[in-house]
Structure 1
Amino acid sequence: MTKKKISVVIPVFNEREILPLLFERLEGIETRHPEYRWEFIFANDGSSDGSDELLRRQGALKPNYCAIHFSKNFGHQIAVTAGMDYADGDAVALIDADLQDPPEIIVEMIKLWEKGYAIVYGKRRSRAGETFLKKKTAALFYRILSIMTDTDIPVDTGDFRLMDRKVIEVVRQMRESHRFVRGIVAWTGFSSIAYEYDRHCRPAGETKYPLKKMLKFAVDAVLSFSNLPLRIASYIGWLATLLGVLGILTVLYLRLFTVWTVPGISAVLVSVIFIGGVQLTILGIVGEYIGRMFTEMKGRPLYVVKGTDNIDLAGHSKKVEPHVFVPRERQLS
């Protein structure tokens, strides 16, 4: 009987301190579960701390440890996408390199997948090592997202999940530049189930998701899966118009039928400032959507691969474009 192949996609950005611990944990999974064929795909997102060298050494020792090396840092969600592009497994798991999500849980996810679920996503029961502010903002983010989008994106989840081959094939076809992978996966509509777990503290290194990146990620999520901001802009415009009409009628009434008058310059200044602020806000929202359309129309590749380890590109089943591969002898500097 042919063993099922499990691909594990791991985005890596400056994780030199934690990679040896990660290799040890992954090798333990292989040893305890020889009933599966394991493939580990590391998407090196332009690391500059020597992570690429550790990945090459591991790949030289174990041929099922594969690596994709980007020419520069393209971002976490793009790295996850590249890993899925190159994954050949019957099921594909996504997990970060920081070991906050225990890799051993992948085996439990496989059991649920074998029961017929196309998507098994990790749901965080607790979040050790995270600040009170981060926990609350994360909870608020998912609640707002659930209100603003029609796609049912599970709350208290990350990208840690396992997906059937058919899900991966659909996701591969979705090539938008501003990516929100967990939203894209949820959009496919395949059967899914949660596996609850306790998130651990990072054993080494520092988080690669500072506040600035988290805010950008939140904006990408909202704008990629909702047109509600545009609707809100329209509502604000209608409200401003209504208030303006009411203001004009009020001023006319006071002028014609009472002894009261409205000071001209004060009313004009307040009105101009209010309307100007509304217009700039709406213009900013519309401009953000137009900017994203412009980015998509340029048709640039999502990422540039300058080298790979243990991946046979000539015989690879990947049929997704656009991407750019630069052969090892012509690596970008």
Structure 2
Amino acid sequence: MKKPLLSLVVPFYNEEETIDQFFPRVQMALEAIAAVDYEIVCVNDGSRDRTLLKLIECARGDARIHVVELSRNFGKEAALTAGLNEALGDVVIPFDADLQDPPEMIAEMVAKWQEGFDVVVARRADRASDTFMKRFSAAAFYRMHNMLSEVKIPENVGDFRLMSREVVDALKMLPESRRFMKGLFSWVGFRTATISYTRESRVAGKTKFSAWKLWNFALEGLTSFGTLPLRVWSYLGVVVALFSLVYASYLVIRTIVLGIDVPGYASIITAILFLGGVQLIGIGIVGEYVGRIYMESKHRPVYLVRARFRAGERRS
């Protein structure tokens, strides 16, 4: 009988330093899984170094390596979407090129899938390889997201997960162009199992996520799966209005009892600046949602493919 096909989807962006270590280790781990055949879908997300050339060279010698070249850098979420669309496997696993997620865990994921689970997520039980600030900011993001969003994301769970073909087909049906993949993975649901692992250090190179990119990524996640940030300002407006009514009543009573006094400049300017700041923050949050509506209304594709390479063959 024909074995099920496992597709490993790997976005690459300026990762030429990791490629020489990536394929030997990953392929050794995949070849040790007797229950499946495999393909590796490598998405070059507009790399400016020799990443694409090295990927093409690897694909020339191995028909199981499929290289997809995007027309420019669209970002990891778009590259991951491209890989999911290109993958042909009965099961699909998103994977990072830096090898911080151990490929040896894939065998355990496949075993869980064979037990009947549609999704097998890998939870980072130990993130000692990350900096303190990265661990702190990640924990704060997960807590805030799950407090504000209707769709809950498992804490310390990234893109590294196994998904059955049914789950991938469900993801491909989702039409939005501004994609927060961790939220989409959780939104589709399906029967899910969790395994734990220790996150390793990068094998080479540096992370491509700056503090600014991580901040924008967090905003994308917080506004993708709920409107509570908008509703909060309605509640805040009610609280401020009630406080103003109570304070106005206090002033009337004090004036009747003690007579008229001259209000202080400091209290007036403080109130004006406070309310002005609150209004600007509220407008900013509304602007985030309006911006999402504007971008979605354009109906632009999530990514564009320039070429595909497999076993020395190039297809546009």
Structure 1 length-normalised TM = 0.90
Q: Which runs of 4+ in 1 moved over 6 A?
A: none
CA contact (8 A) 2:141 2:218 kept: yes
Other structure's SS at 1:104 match: helix
Q: Indicate how the Cα distance of structure 1 residues 262 and 166 shifts in structure 2: closer, same or farther if over 3 A, else same.
A: farther
Instruction: List aligned pairs for 1:243-322, cutoff 5 A.
Output: 243-259=243-259, 261-263=261-263, 265-310=265-310
* Other-structure match for 1:203: 203
Q: Return the offset for 1:61.
A: 0.6
Per-residue deviation, 1:310: 2.1
Task: Tell me if the contact between 2:145 and 2:152 (Cα under 8 Å) persists in the aligned partners.
Answer: no
CA distance in 2, matches of 1:289, 1:238: 21
1:101 aligns to 2:101 (yes or no): yes
Residue 319 (structure 1) aligns with: none
Secondary structure, aligned partner of 1:8: strand
**Alignment correspondent of 1:70:** 70
| Distance in 1, Cα, partners of 2:46 & 2:108 | 32
Query: Which piece of structure 1 moves more, 247-256 or 273-282?
Result: 247-256
Compute the displacement of 1:62 (Å): 0.7
Q: Secondary structure, in 3 states, of the residue corresponding to 2:163?
A: strand
Say if 1:59 and 1:259 are closer, same or farther in 2 by CA, change over 3 A: same
> TM-score when scaled to structure 2?
0.95
Q: For 1:235 and 1:43, how far apart are their aligned partners in 2? A: 45
Task: Please tell me the residue identity of whatever aligns with 1:199.
Answer: R
Among the aligned pairs, what percent are the same residue?
37
Q: Name stretches of at least 5 consecutive residues in structure 2 with no aligned partner.
A: none
Cα distance in structure 1, aligned partners of 2:18 and 2:292: 35
Greater relative contact order (CA < 8 Å, ≥ 6 in sequence): 2
Contact 1:251 1:261 in 2 (8 A): no
1:159-238 alignment runs, 5 A limit: 159-238=159-238
Return the alpha-carbon distance in structure 1 between the equivalents of residues 264 and 138 of structure 2.
47
Structure 2 residue 115 is matched with structure 1 residue 142: no
The structural deviation recorded for 1:262 is 4.6
Question: Which deviates further from its counterpart, 261-270 or 226-235?
Answer: 261-270
Q: Distance in 2 between matches of 1:260 and 1:118?
A: 72
Q: Distance in 1 between matches of 2:138 and 2:2?
A: 42
Q: Specify the alignment match of 2:241 in structure 1.
A: 241
* Corresponding position of 1:324: none
User: Displacement, 1:243?
Assistant: 2.1
Deviations 1:282-331 (A, max 9, x none): 111111101100000011111111111129xxxxxxxxxxxxxxx74xxx
Please give the alpha-carbon distance, in whole angstroms, between the structure 2 residues aligned to 1:65 and 1:5. Answer: 13
